[in-house]
Amino acid sequence: MIVQTLSGTVEGDDLNGVYVYRGIPYAAPPVGNRRFKPPASPLAWTGVRPCKQFGSIAPQQHQPNGNVPGLAQSEDCLNLNVWTTGVSEKLKPVMVYIHGGGFVSGNGAECDGFRYAAEYGIVYVSINYRLGALGFLYLGDLLGNGYETSGNHGMLDIAAALRWVRLNIAAFGGDPSRVTVIGNSAGAKCTATLYVMEAAQGLFHRAIAQSGATQSIRDGQTANVTTLRLLEELGLPQAQAFQLLELPAERIIEAQSAIGSDTSRSLHMFGPVADGHVIPLDPLASLAGNAGLPPLLIGTNEDEAAIFIHNDPALQSPAFGTLERLFGENAAVVWNAYACYEQSMASGEAWNKALTEHLYTIGAMQFAEAVASSGTPVWMYRLQGGGSLGAIHGYEGSLISAAFNRNVMSAEGPSHEDPYSVAAESYALARAMREAWVAFVHSGDPNIRALPAWPVYGSGHATMVLDQNCCVREDLPIPAGIGVPHQVWRMA
């Protein structure tokens, strides 16, 4: 199927009735004098552009081990992919996937939209955006005019992709007035950050944030610390910061990888910046009284931190220094929470609980409350059903994928070699989650017959507990340190 976009004509692949368009440019290449600049409108082309191969992904340290290995890396990475069953009499809801990866890795090819298009009548879009220093390095203090927004260009890329969707998706059969943004981990943090960006207003109408909210937004001072560390690694004095405009991208990525070589540091090395231009200085406060915010489906997993502890020796022994790298000036609050939990449970369990709550749970609750206070419907979930390490970070993605493909599940139970494997007895939960998510994309409400009635998250903090036997609870324990100001992350 050949489609006419505002920039030119594209041709994709026909995969048994699902048309796939890969690598469509949604903005001009951010190369040369466009490095560290906001995204510009896509360049037009003549003739029919073949879009049958995934486009280049953002420069990053490791080639992803996803379902499409070996993708080329390039600064010219602002492209997206579309899955659709084509144009019909009635426009279809649109689902825009923002990949995770800690703001330093990942790509839009890692999630396949074929089944969403074929089975649920959704036009599925996945995007690439600038990562790491090339997308989130704050240069306003060093380079001045023209670079005040450089710490948020990855976010402005996402807004540009959503603008492309609004202008072009009807030609693919999608409804530009029913766009749902979805992300996991850093993708969820990007999704939540869109709520506080004036540049994103009106570009999406629903959002699903899986294990992430606005807690990775940092203030300008903290963002500047990362910039100075990168300059030091590159051997550049502050007066020579302009050389960043001409250095090979590979050298910049090598330097950022060197200063973020352990989990506890890299988790907070890059992220959106409260610069007062793209993102308000007090992001959550900016939502107050903001009527008309998009409905939100948000949640976290019971054992988010267990996978980080399992994979990183630096996290396996409780230490205050680790918390300083993870939480900056809030480290003492997290250490006190750990000490409190250790009085009633084993040290390892207390450490996992304290890290999980302060990395994910508290941020999700604060964001949900801020959105709900504006009168917007919010649905909160807590995933408790998990694998061999519990409901770890990213496990909801395994469940939803398992609902599409029974073959990925083990009939003998979760594999202890793979903490993301899904047991056969979890298939009903996986299917219910998939159906609830799809219902939300279609209607803006996740209520389905397979789950108990799911009330909105209001003063009662009603939360859908997703497990073998799902239930709604309003009495989930409030995390210790819920008052910690995570909405802007600050260096100690």
Catalytic residues: 185, 304, 393
> How far apart, in whole angstroms, are the C-alpha atoms of residue 126 and residue 100?
12
Long-range contact set of residues 14-18: C-beta below 8 Å, sequence gap at least 24: 15/114, 16/118, 17/85, 17/118, 18/83, 18/84, 18/85, 18/114, 18/117, 18/118
Tell me how long the chain is.
492
The SS3 of residue 383 is strand
The SS3 of residue 175 is strand
Give the torsion sign (CA, 76, 192, 217, 474).
negative
CB 193 within 8 A of CB 155: yes
Two structure tokens written together for 223: 């963002």
DSSP secondary structure code for residue 44 in this structure: P
Distance of CA 173 to the CA centre of its chain: 25
Beta bridge partners of 124: 83, 95
- Cβ-based burial of 67 (10 A; exposed 0-12, middle 13-18, buried ≥19): exposed
